[in-house]
């Protein structure tokens, strides 16, 4: 029985730069679709920067019609203000696909790195090299795009785990 491909949107949230990457997965093969970066004007008030991210993600969803999305979980850094702003950007990254009815998964940075590279503390260069190997047609200009593609790859590999199945059942029960 052949499984049809699922289109996945990976999001690497950030207030200044939110990386996004889209791939198709048929359960065995991964195919690069597109990637890029959404930026928010640094001089704008926070609410308008978050709106720019939200609208940018909505535009990507409208253009590429992914069925599922994956977002990197926030890590806590030493600056509480930066952590709070990152959390707010992450909120926009979670809300945009959820409001469009997409299933949204979250993964820790270590889980993403371990899935893509095989080591939970991999360096950015290792991630980018593996993205190039796993998605040879991928064209990305920044670490944000590569990270977003890594998040999508992680979701493609974990979407059929028992935890993911439980989340899908809970979502179906709500509808």
Highest-confidence segment of 19-28, 76-85, 166-175 = 19-28
Show Cβ contacts of residue 65 under 8 Å, excluding neighbours closer than 6 positions. 7
SS3 of the chain: helix, strand, coil, percent, to 5: 50, 20, 30
Residues forming the active site: 12, 72, 144
For the segment 141-167, the average pLDDT, to the nearest whole number, is 83
Tallying the residues shown for the chain, one arrives at 175
Strand order across the 30-39 sheet: 30-39, 17-25, 6-12, 68-72, 103-107
Q: What is the pLDDT of residue 122?
A: 78
Find tokens 């796993």 and name the residue.
Answer: 134
Decide if 112 contacts 150 (C-beta within 8 A): yes
DSSP character string of 36-75? EEEE--TTS-HHHHHHHHHHHHHHHHHHH--SEEEEEPPP
Alpha-carbon gap, residue 106 to 91, rounded angstroms: 12
> Which tokens belong to 80?
């509480």
Per-residue pLDDT reduced to its tens digit, 55-113: 999 999 999 999 999 999 977 677 888 888 889 999 999 999 999 999 999 999 999 99
> Which tokens belong to 161?
């785990």
For the segment 23-33, the average pLDDT, to the nearest whole number, is 93
Torsion of CA 169, 90, 133, 127, to 10 degrees: -120
Residue closest to 93 by CA, chosen among 62, 54, 129: 54
Per-residue pLDDT reduced to its tens digit, 111-129: 999 999 887 777 888 888 9
Instruction: Indicate the pLDDT class of residue 171, thresholds 50, 70 and 90.
Output: low
pTM: 0.88
Domains present along the chain, CATH in parentheses: 6-174 (3.30.420.10)
């Amino acid at each position: 029985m052949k499984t049809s491909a699922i289109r996945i949107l990976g999001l690497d949230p950030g207030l200044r730069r939110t990386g996004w990457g889209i791939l198709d997965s048929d359960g065995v093969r991964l195919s690069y679709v597109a990637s890029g970066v959404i930026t928010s004007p640094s001089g704008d008030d926070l609410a308008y920067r978050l709106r720019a991210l939200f609208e940018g993600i909505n535009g990507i969803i409208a253009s590429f019609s992914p069925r599922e999305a994956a977002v990197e979980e926030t890590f806590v850094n030493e600056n509480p203000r930066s952590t709070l702003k990152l959390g707010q950007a992450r909120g926009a990254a979670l809300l945009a696909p959820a409001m469009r009815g997409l299933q949204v998964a979250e993964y820790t940075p270590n889980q993403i790195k371990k899935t893509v590279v095989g080591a939970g503390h991999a360096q950015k260069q290792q991630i980018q090299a593996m993205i190039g190997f796993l998605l040879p047609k991928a064209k990305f200009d920044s670490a944000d795009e590569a990270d977003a593609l890594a998040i999508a790859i992680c979701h493609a590999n974990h979407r059929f785990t028992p935890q993911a199945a439980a989340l899908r059942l809970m979502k179906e029960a709500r509808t």
